[in-house]
């Protein structure tokens, strides 16, 4: 099996024993992206909107590092600390994914790393 680790300094480094993303065959598996500013290593200030923007910016940076873009994403999972933020996060999400939306799951979880409000992971198709 052929797999390649994807890493970019334009997204936060992993905070555990995992990779930012793995390319395997023609698929890209992007680990959950926290709303951490890659320059400072700190969680961005603000609420769910600001955190969703940063999580998605980190995801986009990883897509770019792998040689693709948002249009290649086929599945996302959005983890929210509170589903009351669903509409706010949806508005941010719709600004990134503008057509041919990927399949998605959105779930409320008890707690996320660094006590953030939002985390987003994705699967994308890579060109051969």
What is the end-to-end Cα distance of the chain in Å, rounded? 15
92 a catalytic residue:
no
- Among candidate residues 22, 70, 96, 106, the one labeled active-site is 106
Using CA atoms, how far apart are residues 57 and 125, in angstroms rounded to an integer?
19
The residues assigned a catalytic role are: 106
């Amino acid at each position: 099996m052929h797999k390649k680790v994807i890493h970019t300094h334009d997204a936060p480094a992993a905070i555990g024993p995992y990779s930012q993303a793995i390319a395997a065959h023609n698929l890209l598996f992007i680990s959950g992206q926290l709303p951490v500013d890659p320059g400072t290593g700190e969680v961005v200030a603000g609420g769910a909107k600001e955190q969703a923007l940063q999580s998605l910016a980190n995801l986009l940076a990883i897509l770019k590092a792998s040689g693709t873009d948002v249009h290649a994403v086929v599945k996302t999972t959005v983890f929210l600390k509170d589903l009351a933020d669903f509409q706010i996060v949806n508005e941010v999400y719709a600004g990134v994914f503008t057509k041919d939306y990927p399949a998605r799951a959105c779930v409320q979880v008890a707690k996320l790393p660094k006590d953030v409000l939002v985390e987003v992971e994705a699967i994308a198709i890579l060109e051969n």
